[in-house]
Amino acid sequence: MLYPIVRPIARLGLRAFYRKIYLSHAERIPRNEAVILAANHPTAFLEPCILACFLDRPLYFLARGDLFKKTFYARLLRGLNILPVFRLKDGGYGKLKDNYSTFEACYSALAQRKTIMILAEGRTKQEKRLGPLQKGTARIALGTLERHPNDLDEVFIVPVGVNFTYADQPRSEVMIDFGEPILASRFLQEFEENANQGMATLTDVLKEKLEKSLVIIEQPEDEELAEGLFRIFRNENPQPLLPVIDYHATPLNTEMRVAETVNRLPDSEKKWLTGQAAAYFKALEAHGIDDRAVAGKKMNGTAAAALLALGFPFFFMGYLWNFLPAWLAKYISDTQVKTLEFKAPVRWAAGLGVFLVYLLAWILAAAASGLWAIALAAFALLLMGYFSLYYLEFYSRYRKDRRMGALSAEEKSLVLQKREGVLQAFRKMAASYA
C-alpha cells in the first residue's frame, strides 16, 4: 500500500508549503465508528492531503473518474485509498454504471467502521462561499445503513469547513474546522419511504451545518473589503509561527465574525468603508510597508540585524541547494496549469516529487562514491532550505519595519490614523448590526 509510505513524506512537504495549519474540534470525529468527513472543495486536492496527513486515522477518498483513465494512474490512486466517481462528462452513461462498484466499496468500508472523506460540493471553486452540495454524501451514508442493518447502527457525517487565507499561494495559512456530527439514521425512514426526498433533506442539513465552519463572503463584490479587514485583524490578533500544526479555532473565529459583519452591512456603509480601507492600503503600498509594520510589535533593529548576519551562511547554503527543485516546481505550476484551483496543489505535488528525485540522486551519488557524508550533507542542506523560508520572511519583516521607522513623524501619524479610522468604523458598525 502506498498510503503509509507517502503519508509521512507528504506531511513534511505540507509543513514547508504552509506557514500554519489550524485543526479545530477534531475531537468531534467519532472513534471506532463509521464516519464520513464531508468537506467543501476550494482546491483540487490539497484539503484531502492535509486531512490524510494530520488526522490520526487512515482515510478513504472519492475523486473524479477521469483521473482513472490510464491504468498506471488508476493503480497509483487506488494505492492511495482513492476511489473513482464518474460524472456524465467522464464517459457518458456507460461510465456512470461504474459508480455502483464505488458506492459498494464505500458501503463496505463504512460497514467496517472506516473513515471516508467526500468533497461534498462535487466541484472545485476557489471562493469564500459554499456552492450547491451534491447528494452523494447522503446516498452513501443512507445506502450503507440500508445495506448493512445488522452490522451498523449509525453512520456519522462530520461537516469539515476548509478555509484558506490565500488558497493559490504557498506559505499561507489553512484553517480547518470539524462540525458536530450528523446522525444519518435520523433520515433513514424518510429515505426508505422516498429515496430522493430523504437524500435531499439530509443534504440540506449538511449544508446548514457546513456553513457554520466556513468563512463566507456572500457577495463577490464584498471580497475586497473583507480581505482588507482580514489582513488588519490578523495583525490585531497575531499567532505564533510555531508549531506549524495548531489545534484551535481563534483565527478562524475572528475571520468568521469579520465576514458575518461585512455580510450584514448596508451597501452604503460597505461602499464607504471599502473606500477607507482602500485608501489605507494604498498608503501602505506607496511607502513600501504592510499592515504588520504599522500595527505589529517592532523589532529591535540591532538584534534583528545581528540575527540576519549570523543566519546568512545557513540561509545561503540552504537557498542555493534547494533553489533548483523549488524553481522547477513553480515552473511546472506556472506553465502547465491553467486552472487557478490547480495552481497551488500542482506546485506542492510537483515540488514533493522533484525534491524526492533530487534527494535520491544525492543518495545514489553517495552510494556510488562510498562517501556517505554526501547523503548526510544533502539532508542537512534540505533542513537549511526549510530554515531559509523563515529567514526570508524574517528579512522581509525587518525591511518593512525599517521603512516604517524611516517615515517622518507626520507620515507615521497619517498612516496610523487611516488604520485606526478603518478599525474604529468597522467596530462601530459591527456593534450596530450585531
Q: Please report where in the chains the cell 490524510 appears, as a residue.
A: 52
Query: How far apart, in whole angstroms, are the C-alpha atoms of residue 116 and residue 107?
Result: 10
Summarised one tens digit per residue, pLDDT across range 172-209 is 999 999 999 999 999 999 999 999 999 999 999 999 99
Query: How many CB atoms within 10 Å of residue 240?
Result: 7
- In order, the DSSP letters of 194-260 are -HHHHHHHHHHHHHHHHHTTS---SSGGGHHHHHHHHHHHHHHS---S--SEE---HHHHHHHHHHH
Amino acid letter for position 417:
Q
Cell numbers describing residue 46: 490539497
pLDDT of res. 235: 96
Q: What are the φ/ψ torsions at residue 122 (nearest 5 degrees)?
A: 75, 5
Query: How far apart, in whole angstroms, are the C-alpha atoms of residue 201 and residue 237?
Result: 39
pLDDT of res. 94: 52
Query: How far apart, in whole angstroms, are the C-alpha atoms of residue 53 and residue 7?
Result: 6
pLDDT of res. 97: 57
What residue segments make up the domains of the chain, in order of their start? 3-218, 301-412
Cell numbers describing residue 231: 489582513
Mean pLDDT by 10 residues, the chain (434 residues): 85 97 98 96 93 93 72 74 65 56 86 94 90 94 95 96 96 98 97 97 98 97 97 95 96 98 96 97 97 91 96 98 97 94 95 95 95 95 97 97 96 97 96 86
CATH number for domain 3-218, candidates 2.60.40.10, 3.40.1130.10, 3.40.120.10, 3.30.70.1230: 3.40.1130.10
Query: How far apart, in whole angstroms, are the C-alpha atoms of residue 150 and residue 295?
Result: 60
pLDDT of res. 93: 47
Triad 48, 341, 170: Cα angle to 5°: 75
Q: Which residues have CB under 8 Å from 376's CB, separation 6+?
A: none
Instruction: Give yes or no for a contact between 246 and 21, defined as CB atoms under 8 angstroms apart.
Output: yes
